[in-house]
Amino acid sequence: MKKNLPLLSLVFVLFACKQDNSTQTITIKKRYSLNLPHFLSAANHLHEDASLQYQNVFKEFYTIVIDEPSKDFNEMIVNEPSLSEYYTADLEGYSNLIIDNMKVTIEDGTFSEFTQTKINGNEARTISINGTVEDIKVFYYLTFIKGKRQYYQIVNWTELKRKEDHLQDMENISASFKELKQKK
């Protein structure tokens, strides 16, 4: 039996490694889907406006998606002179407004430049942030996506010391976003 112990250990390690790479596809209201790491589970207390909320408290890994009609945001910018002076009625203006609000709440924040990209055919912008929130050093990876009729924010965060552990998963989550065909 002692000879089989290393073999059993190897099988366990291989199984554990395989599980770490597996994902689950989550579909929200037939509007969009994301592939999330299997170790995340549904939550309901991360953000009141989020349509998707997943977490793993042991790994300190959190993901939410907030989506809102682009028409509402665009009209707000056009009709509010104090906003239209600084923001445009498009994905750039939407993401800039949200990041400007985050700059007020994150202490000692370091904000990367936006990266322009396409995610499954949709215009997108990504940004990463290091900073302190409620005395905790955090890392955020945000993706803003322009859908057919919605703006989407994918917000991933973790403790700053776990950034390297989770960054690839955060990037994969954002890259997996798919807006589903919606009826008119």
Structural domain includes residue 39: yes
Structural domain includes residue 83: yes
Calculate the CA 65 to chain-centre distance.
6
> Mean pLDDT throughout 165-170?
97
Task: State pTM to two decimals.
Answer: 0.87
The rounded distance, in Å, linking the Cα atoms of 108 and 23 is: 34
181 pLDDT tier (thresholds 50, 70, 90): confident
Closest CA relative to residue 114, chosen from 99, 101, 126, 102:
126
Structural domain includes residue 18: no
Per-residue pLDDT tens for 3-46?
554 544 444 444 444 445 799 999 999 999 999 999 999 999 99
- Which tokens sit at 66? 């907030």
Q: How many domains does the chain have?
A: 1
What one-letter code names the amino acid at 7? L
Per-residue pLDDT tens for 48-86?
999 999 999 999 999 999 999 999 999 999 999 899 999
Structural domain includes residue 1: no
CATH number at 68 reads 3.40.1000.10
Structural domain includes residue 47: yes
Give Cα separations from 27 to 11, 34, 51, 78, 136 (angstroms).
33, 7, 10, 32, 31
Residue span of the structural domain in which 36 resides: 24-179
Structural domain includes residue 42: yes
